[in-house]
Structure 1
Amino acid sequence: MKRVIAIADRAASVSLKLLVALNVLFFLSFLAMLLVATGRAHAEIPACTGTDMLSALRDSDPAAYRKIEAEAAATPNGKGLLWKLEKPGEAPSYLFGTMHMSDPRVTTLPAAARKAYDAAGTIVIETTEVLDQQKMMAALFKEPDLMMFTDGTTLSSLLSPGDAAMVNKALDSRGIPPATVAKMKPWMLSAMIALPACELARKASGAPVLDVKLAEDAKASGKLVEGLETVADQLRAMASLPLAFHMKGLVDTLKLGDKVNDINETMIILYQRGDIGMFWPLFRAATPEDQEDPAGYAAFEEAMITSRNKVMVDHARPILARGNAFMAVGALHLPGADGLVEDFRKAGYTVTAIN
């Protein structure tokens, strides 16, 4: 089948997986702090750019577009952001899929979600540590190897001279002095590079991602705020994958260049439509089958989504037992046979999509 994908060139699956991973991890909210610490954060917020890859694909390769649509349609629970959780003896609660971004299109709740959020007595997010950056960093510094190389290793020492020069150039263009991140683990650096300039600038100016906004508003209104993980838990998930995987992902993400804007724009558009089951089919279609690594893909999905979903359900149970909770987690955790919607059903809940 002819493959004409708007993100072009044969971008490696590793970089695409990492870009998606950034939207199931919640540690991004302190990237602004890291940028501000360099003293070179953007003074002004640039306009967001990027085009909808799916619209381009629909026009250029209808057969490929239909294949993506068919795979998304076959994904269990692939449509909808808001789900009602019901169990005998418990007051109903709600599960809502978020994007960990500060884009106004994301941070404005749909009407049904706003109604459920306003009525909830408890707001649950992935981790409450991001609400207190000093406490969060203190916790992370107990395990510094999750963020930094603690031996003689540097990022440059793991890269070819050409790739090292490309990384340094990309950092300079983002106002990040390479020397300040020379000891940073590649997954931390990938998080900065994979976000559009407008999103980085918003974070640097203090704009909260959706999850943080929900939690801060809840605290201000006297609601109880609970978390399901720690930031260290999330970083351990990233660290569990091979270092070579992350280094290749860093380089391949850089090679995407401005196409990162298209990927993020497309994800926001899909998110607004509630088409969360279309994320993975779209990105899988961007990589020819002969470059796909089934074992690596399975390890990635297990570490970043499936295993964490099970932990989230276990930690959510006592909170949901009190009833009237609004649980907001990354939307990519919801769909699929091993997604949170199915996991909660397995845990005895009746789970219903709310349009």
Structure 2
Amino acid sequence: MSLSGPLKIAAVLVGLLLAGATPAAALAQDAAPAVRAVPPAEGSGPALWVVRDADSVLYLFGTMHLLRPTTAWGSDRVDQAFAAASQLIIEVAAPADQSVLLPIIREHGLSPERPLSGLLTAEEWTAFDAAANAIGSSAANMEPMRPWLAGVTVQTASILRAGYATESGVEPILRARAEAAGMAVSGFETPDEQIRMLAGFPEEGQLAFLRRSLAAFDAAQTDVDRMVEAWAAGDVDALRAVAVDPLRATPVLYEALLVRRNTRWADQIQTLLEGSGTAFIAVGAMHLAGDDSVQAILFRRGVPVEAAP
């Protein structure tokens, strides 16, 4: 689950392939779920941090974008922090009508003039077709995708077939609660920014990512299970080992997907501290683990971040 943010977009596309619907229909159907309870976690649950100054309280909570419906992560501590906030800030606040994303996906995620069959070896194409078949599609259906989108889709497909779902992810649940409570909801990034970030990688880098996704397809479920288990238990060190450290092996991805984004988010958090009030900030858990986490960047700047009581 290394490409945490764009998994949402890819999951919508995988749903499209499975349903045989039009892109507009698949995206428009992705409405926020009703407010619902979450099974309580064992122990204290996922980690929660807090940044304070004289007139501001900012909670930092790591999320999982896709989860099984039965995943137990409910926490009184998180519920109390959320209830105290007047605004929810998530990684990316997608529009209510997600059909508006279609032009962006078409522009940056599809390239019919450079079909994947011409970029992959015969062996790779066979592996790609097997991954597509696992989600009820085929490589031929996905052939117009650019390599970055194909790679993210392969990653997402391996997770979806293991019973994970976007509607069970943390963000839609928190967003539904926020909207029911009349809280303001905003995002650190836009879908356009996330898509452009991935589409901006050179083609060879995109192909390298797609090939790694294919090689890890069968093991992806185990890796994600370990990641979710560590997250739900609040074991940040284990989460770093499973999700963050492997990304370091590809410095260009590590820098673009984590370091630069975490730095921008730390900037935004410091701007929030210049104001007042209480906010609940929920971003992908891997952004809150490791030496280049949002908290680590804030700490190096002299901004204290503490584990929430």
Identify whether the pair has TM-score above 0.5, normalized to the shorter chain.
yes
Aligned to 1:254: 214
**Rounded Cα–Cα distance in structure 2 between residues aligned with 1:323 and 1:284:** 32
Q: Deviations over 1:259-292 (max 9, x none)?
A: 2111111111111122233344347988xxxxx9
Q: Does 1:216 align with 2:176?
A: yes
Q: Which amino acid aligns with 1:34?
A: L
Aligned to 1:102: 67
Q: Which amino acid aligns with 2:147?
A: P
**Rounded Cα–Cα distance in structure 2 between residues aligned with 1:130 and 1:208:** 18
**Rounded Cα–Cα distance in structure 2 between residues aligned with 1:36 and 1:83:** 34
Q: Which amino acid aligns with 1:341?
A: Q
Counterparts of 1:148-159 in structure 2 under 5 Å?
148-149=110-111, 152-159=113-120
Greater Rg, structure 1 or structure 2? Answer: 1
Identity of aligned residues (%): 25
C-alpha change, 1:203 and 1:33, in structure 2 (3 Å) is: farther
Task: Indicate conservation of the 8 Å contact 1:94/1:116, yes or no.
Answer: yes
Equivalent residue in structure 2 for 1:34, among 4, 9, 13:
13
Equivalent residue in structure 2 for 1:147, among 109, 126, 129:
109
Matched position secondary structure for 1:125 = strand
Task: Indicate conservation of the 8 Å contact 2:262/2:294, yes or no.
Answer: yes
- The alignment's C-alpha RMSD in Å is 3.0
**Rounded Cα–Cα distance in structure 1 between residues aligned with 2:240 and 2:257:** 13
**Rounded Cα–Cα distance in structure 1 between residues aligned with 2:302 and 2:83:** 26
Aligned to 1:225: 185
Q: Does 1:325 align with 2:279?
A: yes
Q: Does 1:191 align with 2:144?
A: no
C-alpha change, 1:342 and 1:251, in structure 2 (3 Å) is: closer
Any unmatched runs of 5+ in structure 2? 21-44
Cα displacement (A) at 1:306:
0.6
Cα displacement (A) at 1:168:
1.5
Structure-2-length-normalised TM-score: 0.79
Q: Deviations over 1:56-86 (max 9, x none)?
A: xxxxxxxxxxxxxxxxxxxxxxx97210111
Cα displacement (A) at 1:146:
2.4
Cα displacement (A) at 1:166:
1.9
Count of aligned pairs between the two proteins: 284
Any unmatched runs of 5+ in structure 1? 1-18, 42-78, 287-291
**Rounded Cα–Cα distance in structure 2 between residues aligned with 1:137 and 1:217:** 27
Structure-1-length-normalised TM-score: 0.70
Task: Indicate conservation of the 8 Å contact 1:97/1:328, yes or no.
Answer: yes
Structure possessing the higher relative contact order (Cα contacts under 8 Å, 6 or more residues apart): 1
C-alpha change, 1:100 and 1:284, in structure 2 (3 Å) is: closer
Q: Does 1:349 align with 2:303?
A: yes
